[in-house]
Structure 1
Amino acid sequence: MASRSIQRIIKYNASLAGLSKKVTPHIFRHSFATDLLEAGADIRSVQELLGHKSITTTQKYTHITNKQLKDVFHAFHGKIK
């Protein structure tokens, strides 16, 4: 399947879902990386799965979620003296 066909399918389904933001195949890579980390995968494994040579590139694909921030806050709040 051609990459343009995939783009059209995603655009069509995003429209059906009523999404106002632009949705691209690239967004799925970002979501995939973030979901892996949130589920406990290590950054090196994510790097390999995405096929990145540089860990820096992988870091750009990952995003901290509100849940992750809350978990870190609750894990360390009150422990710092």
Structure 2
Amino acid sequence: MGPHVMQRNYEVLLVSQFTLYGVLKGNKPDFHVAMPPQKAKPFYESLVDKFRKSYRPDAIKDGVFGAMMKVQCCHVKFF
């Protein structure tokens, strides 16, 4: 295994993504088993805070909770 994010001094982008917890119900996704927004937002903010405390705070980027976001990755090299 190669060097990790901190060893390479990379930035990290954290984006909340509830659709990963969707269950296909017929032709439509169902998100009833996902954490409700009023619990999920503090959970997500806590995760972002933990990342910032354990790494360089300026290197941790986050999205807007609950917003539809378009993310573009440029010059990405996966190890």
TM-score (norm 1): 0.28
**Higher RCO by CA contacts (8 Å cutoff, separation 6 or greater):** 2
The structure with the greater share of residues assigned to strand is: 2
TM-score (norm 2): 0.29
